[in-house]
Amino acid sequence: MRPGVHVRSACPHDLEDLVDLCLAARSEAGVGSQLCTEDSERLRSQLGTLLATPGGEVLIGTVDDQAAGLLLARIVGPGPFTDQSSLHLEALFVLPDARRRGLGHALLSRAVQLAEQAGATELYSSPLPGARGMQRFLARLGFAPAAAHRVVTTAVLQRRLTHEVGPASITPSVRRTGPRGLEDLIARRRQVREGRRLDEASAADAAAQARASINMQVSRAVQSCRPSSSSTTTW
């Protein structure tokens, strides 16, 4: 660790500095609520909850005694599906003016110590999309892709689920109304009409085949009943 760079576990009296650092990270990232809220009071409450939650880890880094970086993490596991514990990095941020002085490395070194103390065998991080600098930084330190995440809004998922279930399983209380619901109703009616048309065409084809079969049987019967003298043979 370079001179003037220090990392320690945060305390309640660090909340103001932590709030300022989170807001600075939000402003730089440009992804808004994907990172944190812009409400200072709510952010202070959330950070305080993380500080007080078992397994919650909040590190603050200083450069020349000035708060310049933070690391938010949680110890996860063991749980129902694994006997192992891991440390999940929720956020890692260093102010632009304090970068390239080893503070990011120092924060992660302290995180490794916390992981070892908790018996965690792996560290996970989910950098925000577009955070190329953080992606490169983590890749240089050995972080490798582990899984692909997918995201959907609640409204879109509810609409898709309702559409997949179909009209027969939808209770009146959750039936959709409005333009989209009308379009679905029209589409379902078209499907019903098409199904009826195909059924009618199949029935007509079957009737035609039946009539042809009957005519053939009648013709054979008539021929078999003709007198022998009426038959004509040509050589």
Residues 155-181 pLDDT 10s: 899 988 988 665 544 454 445 555 566
Q: Give me the mean pLDDT over the 40-60 stretch.
A: 94
54 and 142 in one domain? yes
Of 60, 94, 89, 51, the residue nearest 73 (C-alpha): 89
Answer whether residue 217 is part of any domain. Answer: yes
158 and 140 in one domain? no
Of 128, 119, 125, 130, the residue nearest 143 (C-alpha): 125
Q: How many domains does the chain have?
A: 2
172 and 138 in one domain? no
Domain that holds residue 97: 5-149
Dihedral sign, Cα of residue 151, residue 155, residue 156, residue 162: positive
Q: Give me the mean pLDDT over the 33-53 stretch.
A: 87
Chosen domain end from 149, 176, 194: 149
Answer whether residue 19 is part of any domain. Answer: yes
Phi then psi for residue 124, to 5 deg, are: -115, 145
Q: With beta carbons less than 8 A apart as the criterion, state whether 64 and 4 touch.
A: yes
135 and 94 in one domain? yes
Give the integer Cα–Cα distance in Å for 235 and 233: 7
Chosen domain end from 149, 168, 186: 149
Q: Give me the mean pLDDT over the 57-73 stretch.
A: 96
125 and 10 in one domain? yes
Which of residues 5 and 151 earns the better pLDDT score? 5
> What mean pLDDT, rounded, does the chain reach?
79
Chosen domain end from 115, 130, 149: 149
Answer whether residue 233 is part of any domain. Answer: no
Q: With beta carbons less than 8 A apart as the criterion, state whether 204 and 212 touch.
A: no
Q: At 36, is the pLDDT very low, low, confident or very high (cuts 50, 70, 90)?
A: confident
Answer whether residue 235 is part of any domain. Answer: no
Q: Which residues pair with 62 in a beta bridge?
A: 6, 67
127 and 11 in one domain? yes
pLDDT, tens digit, for every residue of 93-126? 999 999 999 999 999 999 999 999 999 999 998 7
Give me the pLDDT at residue 80, please. Answer: 86
Q: Give residue 75's identity as a one-letter amino acid code.
A: I
Which of residues 70 and 145 earns the better pLDDT score? 70
105 and 86 in one domain? yes
